[in-house]
Structure 1
Amino acid sequence: MGAVMGTLSSLQTKQRRPSKGQLYVMDYITHQNKSDKIEDELEMATVCYRPEGLEQLESQTNFNKSELQVLYRGFKNECPSGVVNEDTFKQIYSQFFPHGDASMYAHYLFNAFDAAQSGSVKFEDFVAALSVLLRGTIHEKLRWAFNLYDINKDGNINKEEMMNIVKAIYDMMGKYTYPVVKEDAPKQHVEVFFQKMDKNKDGVVTLDEFIESCQEDDNIMRSLQLFENVM
């Protein structure tokens, strides 16, 4: 080891001093690296999204300032850029359901969180939805659930939309549920619920019909509370 270090020292002492041209090139490279670093920092500052003030979010949600700070730290830990796209959202969400396929339900859930339909979820979107799901009134939770089921956002829920959501939930829960779920369970579930909710039998469920049916039927409310656990 000493011989190697001695050889390196000898080579360093025998090197010629750099010429003026070499010094100019070295100075240019150093300056360019500094400029690149500054540009990278400016680019990161542009890319990274910063949420609204916590005071404003506190007035808009059911969380206090300290709770929002904890939520924001967790959000930034998973999403350093300050926003989350659908692919990242699916990856994070699927970790909670390792025995099933959560991809489709995560897709629908992402669209419900992305209120502006911008293709990304900001911290404000995330905390607003969480505020309703965890601490909202029954009416607020039902409105949020309706928006989730209303996949095409036309203000109504048709049977196909309800089937898509319910099937996605069953797929996410996987085959290792107890009691074991039959293959036709999602279809049976939708047939019963849709018949009760579509009060005027026009083939769609409106927001008013949805809220009224849920509040009238304890079985529907229990099912929604069960599904709320996977939201």
Structure 2
Amino acid sequence: MDYILTLSVLCRGTVDDKLRWIFRFYDITGDGQLSRESFADIIRSLYDLIGPTVQPRVQESDIQKHIDEIFEHVDPLQVEQITAEDFIEYCKRRPQLIDSIQSLSSTF
């Protein structure tokens, strides 16, 4: 059932629906907020999945730099937490990102 709901959101959902789904994907603790630590865990896991295909191998310092850049832009008040609303607002200000999400969903 979760698979069908996911496909439905990704294929037919609004931009907000898709962004909320992506946020929940990153929200591994389910508390509605992304901390640096939980976000780092997800980023490391994603790099581990694609690791052999990326050359040179991604270093921990690259991951930290990536996370720092994200939090600098998405968490300007420096509360060290990103809410779904913060995430959605940030993404919607990035037309290229929205286009990528929309084109991804059209491939389903």
- TM-score, normalised with respect to structure 2: 0.78
The amino acid that maps onto 1:195 is E
Task: State the percentage of identical aligned residues.
Answer: 31
Considering Cα pairs closer than 8 Å and 6+ residues apart, tell me whether 1 or 2 has the greater RCO. Answer: 2
Hey, what does 2:70 align to over in structure 1?
A: 193
Query: RMSD of aligned C-alpha atoms?
Result: 2.3
Aligned residues: 101
Q: Which of 52, 58, 69 pairs up with 1:182?
A: 58
1:206 aligns with 2:54: no
Matches within 5 A, 1:132-211: 132-177=9-54, 180-183=56-59, 184-211=61-88
Shift of 1:135: 3.0
Rg bigger for which structure? 1
The amino acid that maps onto 1:209 is D
- For structure 2, the residue ranges without an aligned partner over 5 or more in a row are none
Hey, what does 2:8 align to over in structure 1?
A: 131
2:72 partner SS: helix
Q: Deviations over 1:160-198 (max 9, x none)?
A: 111111111111012222x53431322221111111111
- For structure 1, the residue ranges without an aligned partner over 5 or more in a row are 1-123
2 CA distance for matches of 1:193 and 1:181? 21
Q: Is the 8 A contact 2:47 2:58 kept in 1?
A: no
